Amino acid sequence: MRVLTAAAATLALTFGAQFASAAPVEIKFSHVVSENTPKGQMANRFKQLVEERLPGKVEVKVYPNSQLFGDNKVLEAMMLGDVQMAAPSLSKFQKYTKSLQVFDLPFLFRDMAAVERFQQGEHGQKLLGSLKKKGLVGLGYLHNGMKQMSGYAPIRTPADARGKKFRIMTSDVLQAQFEAVDAVPLKKPFSEVFTLLQTRAIDGAENPWSNLYTKKFFEVQPYITETNHGLLDYMVVTSAEFWLELDDDLRVEVKKALDEAIVYGNQVAAEKSQADKQAIIDSKRSRVIEITDAERQQWVKAMKPVWKEFEDEIGKELIEAAVAANK
């Protein structure tokens, strides 16, 4: 009886250990936007590809709409192993590296093609490694699009923004950008923006078309000015600890699935920047204002000195490389 029990225990231990080692790796992917956005669609496609190709080996759980973590907490949670992947906007890495601030400089990129050239070029690729010292790995960039300004009153020139409160992401460059036009920038989490606008605690915000539409900001902002004054793109990140502990074959497949999901997400971004703008126009809840070249030049003149202010932190060479991507 005793012998049998010992044998059973040995069997249980053996199979138990095998079972434990065969448990799928779990990737929690946390983000703050709706599923019907470039990032939401990319994350869902990533899940689909990984689970098709690595059934029983890797499971991806996607948490949209700040359900798991807001962007202000997600990177800390990643270091603690509570989440494995996220794609915060490039404006939210300032605590971890100063170089990514280049993406926040106002009127830096002419269009998304220039952004793509810069990100895929030598400097952009090097920036993916800029979080290494902090234990994070940049796996790739994802587009959303250019930001537009919204408000309760029409905004055509910098004078219209003077004294108005604008919500910004946690970026000192964005703070300086609004201070340059004598506006009052407030760093607030994305999850609070709708309520802040609805209750008129703030006057306006800056967002790409997809966030304006999917988070219904257009319903509480009667005017949206097509300024295209800055970029809102993302970096998909993971922790070095999680990434390097993955088996080599799994890491290769997961990265391949992510690269494909990003290509898909970028297509969604290109399509949605037009479609969501049109949906807002069609809704008639918000008037879309186009500014003249002369009006645009007023914004450029007021905001461009911010480049010089951050040149030492970002690096002159990096700024020049970004400018060169416009050609």
Q: Which residue is at the shortest CB distance from ligand SIN?
A: 190
Closer by beta carbon to ligand SIN, 50 or else 142:
142
Cβ 143 to ligand SIN shortest distance, Å: 11
Question: Which of 41, 66, 89, 214 touches ligand SIN by CB under 6 A?
Answer: 89
Closer by beta carbon to ligand SIN, 54 or else 142:
142
Site string for ligand SIN, 20-59 (x = CB under 6 A): ------------xx--------------------------
Closer by beta carbon to ligand SIN, 33 or else 54:
33
Partners of 249 in the β-ladder = none
Cβ 38 to ligand SIN shortest distance, Å: 9
Residue 84 near ligand SIN by CB under 6 A: no
Query: Which are the contacts of 40, defined by CB distance < 8 A and separation ≥ 6?
Result: 31, 33, 34, 64
Site string for ligand SIN, 190-219 (x = CB under 6 A): x--------------------x--------
Residue 221 near ligand SIN by CB under 6 A: no
Closer by beta carbon to ligand SIN, 32 or else 254:
32
The structure tokens listed for 63 are: 């948490």
CA 261 to chain centre: 15
Residue 157 near ligand SIN by CB under 6 A: no
Chain positions 224 to 243 lying near ligand SIN, rule: CB under 6 A, are 232
Cβ 67 to ligand SIN shortest distance, Å: 13
Cβ 66 to ligand SIN shortest distance, Å: 9
Are 288 and 277 spatial neighbours (Cβ–Cβ below 8 Å)?
A: yes
Shortest CA distance to 139 belongs to which of 24, 37, 269, 251?
251
Cβ 188 to ligand SIN shortest distance, Å: 9
Cβ 11 to ligand SIN shortest distance, Å: 50
CA atoms 72, 210, 50, 131: torsion sign: negative
Closer by beta carbon to ligand SIN, 44 or else 211:
211
Closer by beta carbon to ligand SIN, 27 or else 32:
32
Cβ 206 to ligand SIN shortest distance, Å: 8
Cβ 253 to ligand SIN shortest distance, Å: 26
Question: Which of 115, 136, 149, 169 touches ligand SIN by CB under 6 A?
Answer: 169
Query: Which are the contacts of 47, defined by CB distance < 8 A and separation ≥ 6?
Result: 29, 60, 61, 62
> How far, in Å, are 5, 303, 313 from residue 307 at the CA level?
74, 8, 10
Summarize as ranges the residues that interact with ligand SIN (CB under 6 A): 32-33, 89, 144, 169, 190, 211, 232
